Structure 1
């Protein structure tokens, strides 16, 4: 399922923050700084990308938990680096430690859990749920 995925593996990504990453996209009366939802999304993205490099065909991963702390604001225009590390693998569950840094300081940290799934089985469950709630 996750061939070659081991505790201690790391991956990082960077993002140049732009106006569309502003907290004001979520509510008008927030500071015009890099938004927490985008930070969480970046953290999920880097973890999913690491897992994806080790998945067998037909497999995917889904997020199952995130305990995120947004520690410091980042002005728009700065670059952010997010680094994840696999800290535990329990069957199909993979746990990550994630840290984020802007050009000045550490801005966030999280523990993130992802679960390995068989895409066809998962999609069939989603379709069945949709059929129950939205009959043709």
Structure 2
């Protein structure tokens, strides 16, 4: 039996996800501020979703990725009703570590950009370890 490589991913994998901003997505609703515009925690969740989507079709059975580190610059406000698009592109693979370059845009305006780092893990072992942490 041939040994499986540590990661089936190569730089260049990419995905995008869209979100139409609702009242539930605002800084006010999320408790991260008092203004009714797209909240930074929601922007973070959006770029994480895009990075997960970028690897989803090549994810080996029994494996998943978990977040390790995020660098995110939230550059512009987005009002309720606007649609933003998040892109994630796998820029670097270092063993099980995956580094994504991420961007969120409202039309031609960059709303946020940065990096998301994720780690490829065995899903079952990760969950067992998490349940023992309490």
Of the candidates 113, 116, 120, which is equivalent to residue 120 of structure 2? 116
Cross-structure match for 1:56: 60
Cα gap change, 1:41 to 1:29, in 2 (>3 Å): closer
> Does the aligned pair in 2 maintain the 1:2–1:55 contact within 8 Å?
no
Normalised to the residue count of structure 1, the TM-score between the two structures is 0.89
Residues 79-134 of structure 1 show CA distances to partners (whole Å, capped at 9, x for unaligned) of: 0001111110001000000000013511000111000000111111112112xxxx
Alpha-carbon distance between aligned partners in 1 of 2:13 and 2:60, rounded to the nearest angstrom: 18
Counterparts of 1:1-136 in structure 2, within 5 Å, are: 2-3=7-8, 5-27=9-31, 30-130=34-134
Pairwise CA RMSD:
1.5
Residues 40-74 of structure 1 show CA distances to partners (whole Å, capped at 9, x for unaligned) of: 00000110121222111100110000000000000
Normalised to the residue count of structure 2, the TM-score between the two structures is 0.90
Q: How many residues align?
A: 129
Q: C-alpha displacement at 1:25, in angstroms?
A: 1.4
- Structure 1: state its 5+ residue gaps: 131-136
Runs of 4+ in 1 over 2 A off after TM superposition: 26-29
Cross-structure match for 1:134: none
Q: C-alpha displacement at 1:29, in angstroms?
A: 5.7
Cα gap change, 1:28 to 1:47, in 2 (>3 Å): closer
